[in-house]
Amino acid sequence: MNRTKVFTGSPWEPLVGYCRAIRVGNRIEVAGTTAMKDGEVVGAGNAYEQARYVLQTIEHALHELGATMSDVIRTRMFVTDISLWEEFGRAHGEFFREVQPVATMVEVKALIDPDLMIEIEVEAVLG
């Protein structure tokens, strides 16, 4: 089965050996995505802004593979401060209120940069 991949140009992609998203048949998997742009954290200290930026990045990757946010069936959110769940959830709801994929949010000790507050990965199915 063919694999179609999306890369964002992150310096970690070739170093670690991964892509932002991959489509195999009608399934799309989007890797854990953070609020990084050109090596800088977007929205440092702002849970809502980081979550929105991450979801916009995911939306762009899905579009490159012929999908939309409506095709998402699962989201996983890894957050560094679960007490901010409402801010993360508000951003998630703006993108998925009508879609209502299954969702998980768990607190983690840390992400790759100490200013990152959230990492999100999604699964989508076309058709």
Q: Is the pTM of this model over 0.85?
A: yes
C-beta of residue 13 within 8 angstroms of C-beta of residue 20: yes
- For residue 127, the model assigns a pLDDT of 87
Q: Are 62 and 68 in contact (CB under 8 A)?
A: yes
Residue carrying structure tokens 């992609």: 13
Instruction: Give strand pairing partners of 61.
Output: none
Q: What is the pLDDT of residues 3-59, one digit of tens each?
A: 999 998 888 889 999 999 999 999 999 999 999 998 899 999 999 999 999 999 999
Superfamily holding 3-125: RutC-like (3.30.1330.40)
Which pLDDT belongs to residue 108? 98
Share of the chain above pLDDT 90, in %: 91
Cα 62 to Cα 46: distance, rounded to the nearest angstrom: 25
Strand 36-37 relative to strand 40-41, pairing = antiparallel
Helix intervals (H) in the chain: 12, 47-64, 85-96
Rounded-to-integer distance, Cα 68 and Cα 125, Å: 10
CB 120 within 8 A of CB 32: yes
Structure confidence at residue 2 (pLDDT): 92
Domain boundaries, the chain: 3-125
Query: Mean pLDDT in the chain?
Result: 96
User: Quick one: pLDDT at residue 13?
Assistant: 87
Query: What pLDDT shows up at residue 102?
Result: 98
pLDDT of amino acid 10: 82
Summarize the confidence of residues 48-74 as an average pLDDT.
98
| Cα 79 to Cα 50: distance, rounded to the nearest angstrom | 11
pLDDT at 39: 86
